[in-house]
Amino acid sequence: YLGNGMVTLEPKLAATYRISEKITVGANLGYLVRPDTLAMYDVDVGNELTYALAGVTTVGSQGIQLLGELYGRLPADGRVDFAANASPLELDISGRKWFNESHGVTLGLGTGLISGYGIPTLRVFVGYTFIPKVNRDSDGDGIPDDVDKCVNKAEDIDQFDDGDGCPDPDND
């Protein structure tokens, strides 16, 4: 991010949990390290604790998802006074349409819940998601899942129907 005008480091811990087939939630916690204090508008910014909570749910069977994300920052060192404008919080709500398993488009809106630097009155965003198709082999038999008729049962190589991905009855 060039707006910092310096090199920064932000290690993060992230976790996701699938509540059901249609609902997934996630969270992350990070620590943004700045070598120097940075003046942003009317606040000095130093090291920060960053956090986010998010959720996504699938609606119907047409590849539509609703997403929500709450994220913010808190001063994490003594170089900066803890103040509301140094502790911004934003909420984003969006919808995503998947056109197939690899391509999706997102449209969303965001606003600040706690104003501060970097928090807009209104944020509008559009995104494109591409997930490359990977030829997985869940059962390790050498036959990709997309053509394997028995994805979770390994093919037994015995010179009899050895391309379908399914174990064959003992025919010898």
Task: State the pLDDT at residue 83.
Answer: 63
pLDDT along the chain (172 residues), means of 10: 73 95 95 82 80 95 92 80 72 95 94 84 94 78 79 74 74 56
Q: For position 93, what pLDDT does the model report?
A: 98
User: What pLDDT sits at residue 45?
Assistant: 77
Q: Give strand ranges (E) for 9-133.
A: 12-18, 23-32, 38-40, 43-45, 48-59, 64-75, 89-98, 103-114, 123-130
- The letter for the amino acid at 60 is G
Joined tokens for residue 62: 């047409």
Rounded Cα–Cα distance for residues 146 and 134 (Å): 10
How many other C-beta atoms lie within 10 A of the C-beta of residue 15? 9
Q: What is the pLDDT of residue 82?
A: 62
Predicted confidence at residue 24, as pLDDT, reads 96
- Euclidean distance between CA atoms 115 and 92, whole angstroms: 14
Q: Which two tokens stand for residue 40?
A: 């942003």
Residue type, 140: G
Taking the C-alpha atoms of residue 69 and residue 92, their distance in angstroms, rounded to an integer, is: 5
By the 8 A CB rule, do 38 and 47 touch? no
